[in-house]
Structure 1
Amino acid sequence: MKVLVIKFRNIGDVLLSTPLILNLKNIYPDSIIDFVLNKGCEDMVSNNPNVKNIIIYDRPRIKKLPIFSQLKEEIRFTRNIRHNNYDIVINLTEGERGAQLAFFSGAKIKLGFSVRKGIFSKIKIFDKLGDDKKWQHTVEKDLQFINLLGKEIINKEVKIYWPTEIEQEVDKILSDNSIEQFVHIHPVSRWMFKCWEDDRMAKIIDYLQKDKGIKVIITGAPIKKELDRIDKILRLCKTRPVNLSGMLTLKHLACLSSKAKLFFGVDTAPMHMAAINTPVMALFGASEASKWGPWHNNGKNHYLNDGLQINGCHTVFAESDHTAVYFGAIKKYQGMLNINIEPILKELNELL
């Protein structure tokens, strides 16, 4: 039995599909499971004992090619998928590229979502369709394909794996900085409108370090706009957190957060990674907590899109006003602006 899972989305989306992989392996223990994803997301499933091959689609490289060369690349990529002779293909997105791969795969069973636009929206591709309209968490959305296979969901645990050397390197970073207990703060997102106000984030950092006496470690991606945003936050701080922004891989980030007393941040892939092993406090004012809230592997995960919510491990502050507001060329969401600092300080005081 050969199974192909396709998810052409972002880093956090791929991570949240790992319960599906685990269930497929439990149901078909002798199966070979391959995973197709966008370049940059592979760390979410590498080292996963249930994934045999990771097939990477290098979108940025292909988009830079002349149109004829792009077409050749698409044909080559699709042909390679077909030559693998999969028995089951599960496409976890509504886009054309995954549908195209499923259509030409030659698989006996093809499952996926209705394609939203383009030529493949007019063609019957999948034997059974998942429900992409239901208001449900992304983990549950992906797991529905187990039921469509006529099987029962056995496990809903999100998993990420890293090698021993990553653990050793993170331990050395903590040792070199004389850190035992710490709060991990990842204050930025690739989508800047998901970020909280810089001055409020700085006050949280100062509160944790000065009032609660616990060290803060700041992280961010090695991307200029994120690093610039973090620099602005740090300039507003009266205390000095340990700044590891731009220095860590995704595996290092996951390992680091697993050792934290608490993760604090917004809706990002690092937040989802942290939620696997560490209590999370997350701010949602530009995306739906009901779909993207921090997943609790051993508890309830039914978030609303408004208000303070605690599920026994994770804490979510959510605002449902997702109106875009502009300050010059800067796009923000009203929901993020509506999240005040006082209730957060109160919850932090109780947690720590």
Structure 2
Amino acid sequence: MIMNNALNTPAAGQQTRILVIKLRHHGDMLLTTPVINALHQAWPEAQIDVLLYEETRDMLSANPFIHHIYGIDRKWRKLGTRQHLCKEWQLLKALRQQNYSLVVNLADQWRSAIVTRFTGAPARIGFDFNKRRGWFWNQCHTQLASVADHQKLHTVEQNLSVLSPLAISPVNDVTMSYRPEDWQKVQEKLQSKNVDAAFIVVQPTSRWFFKCWDESKMAATLTALQQDGHTLILTSGPDKNEKAMIDKIRALCPSERIHSLAGELSLRQLAALIDHAKLFIGVDSVPMHMAAALQTPCIALFGPSKLTFWSPWQVRGEVIWAGSYGPLPDPDQINTSTSERYLNAIPVDDVVAAARRQLL
């Protein structure tokens, strides 16, 4: 097979180099790690690089199988046309100079196809997306993987299907990596709050509030766990609206054994915190996927997202879906700025019971 030959017979004196391209959000980046793991398993000595959006770097920056990360900074647009094009050209040249043997393009943007072609790699795999069928997309890739079954597959399985032309064994594990210094920083924050015992991490927020549960229901759940004697650590992103939600929830709870690190942690530090928790409770968000990847016991509250695509992969715990309690709108028809809380159909008692089962 051309692909395998390209990897198994690199030019004299050169190390085998592979580039993986994915230009999406934080959670999407985490769910690409099975592809990286599979490539590493097939070619342990290969140098695997990744091209991503700069703001998602933390999701992969501690991954031990990644040699180098190249970032596209969306702030380049603010530099003016000349400087923006200069940055793009510098990136293209840097990638071409790597002499990649294989490029795996998981993205669907035209930009990703152009980068794939410009690398000059002898093997360039992408997806045969319906919306991209045509001469140019074909020319940018040497082989295209079918997307015929994607509507029935989880995002992890969709990503792994890009490797079908390579005929290598898939690796299903999602990997969230952090460094020792990340946990050290978290420990310092916990010590400053006199937290020295086991704790539960709770992430009630998402950047899309329609994915969130009502603050009073979350507070009632946390109060029950406080009364059971558990210590709770609340987390959120740095957005002021997310932090305001955390403040509202805390105000509805007893003051004992509840602490906030909302907006204070990097993504890697958050991963370290979740990894050391005895339970994670959260809504459909990046931390939920982190908890599943880290195999921390997890209660995931899920609303009108596509369960087939986005349920926590290989979760150790329970997914509580609002659709089990009442009708939900079509995920493709939702106005993401709506104030509707679709998770509110989920009863507090069911979440408390699920948490207690995981804490046994």
2:101 paired residue number: 87
Q: How many Å apart are 1:165 and its aligned residue?
A: 2.0
- Give the stretch that moved more between structures: 166-175 or 339-348: 166-175
Alpha carbons of structure 1 residues 246 and 46: separation in structure 2 relative to 1, 3 Å? same
Q: Equivalent residue of 2:55, what SS?
A: coil
Q: Is the 8 A contact 2:22 2:51 kept in 1?
A: yes
Paired positions, count: 332
1:231 paired residue number: 247
Alpha carbons of structure 1 residues 73 and 348: separation in structure 2 relative to 1, 3 Å? same
Q: Does the alignment pair 1:344 with 2:348?
A: no
State the identity %.
34
Q: Is the 8 A contact 1:166 1:251 kept in 2?
A: yes
Q: Does the alignment pair 1:221 with 2:224?
A: no
**In 2: Cα distance, 1:116 partner to 1:80 partner:** 31
1:30 paired residue number: 45
**In 2: Cα distance, 1:248 partner to 1:14 partner:** 19
Question: Any residues of structure 2 matched to 1:45-60 within 5 Å, and which?
Answer: 45-59=60-74
**In 2: Cα distance, 1:314 partner to 1:120 partner:** 44
**In 1: Cα distance, 2:355 partner to 2:51 partner:** 39
TM-score for the superposition, normalised by structure 1: 0.86
Amino acid at match of 1:157: D
2:6 paired residue number: none
Gaps of 5+ in 1: 297-310
Q: Is the 8 A contact 1:286 1:333 kept in 2?
A: no
2:269 paired residue number: 252
Q: Does the alignment pair 1:285 with 2:300?
A: no
Give the superposed CA RMSD: 2.4
TM-score for the superposition, normalised by structure 2: 0.84
2:13 paired residue number: none
**In 1: Cα distance, 2:255 partner to 2:290 partner:** 27
Q: Which has more radius of gyration? A: 2
Q: Which has the higher helix share?
A: 2
**In 2: Cα distance, 1:75 partner to 1:248 partner:** 34
Gaps of 5+ in 2: 1-15
Q: How many Å apart are 1:88 and its aligned residue?
A: 0.8
Q: Is the 8 A contact 1:202 1:237 kept in 2?
A: yes
Q: Does the alignment pair 1:316 with 2:323?
A: no
Q: How many Å apart are 1:90 and its aligned residue?
A: 0.9
Q: Equivalent residue of 2:114, what SS?
A: helix
Q: How many Å apart are 1:204 and its aligned residue?
A: 1.4
Q: Equivalent residue of 2:238, what SS?
A: coil
Alpha carbons of structure 1 residues 348 and 160: separation in structure 2 relative to 1, 3 Å? closer
Q: Is the 8 A contact 1:188 1:220 kept in 2?
A: yes
Alpha carbons of structure 1 residues 41 and 221: separation in structure 2 relative to 1, 3 Å? same
1:183 paired residue number: 200
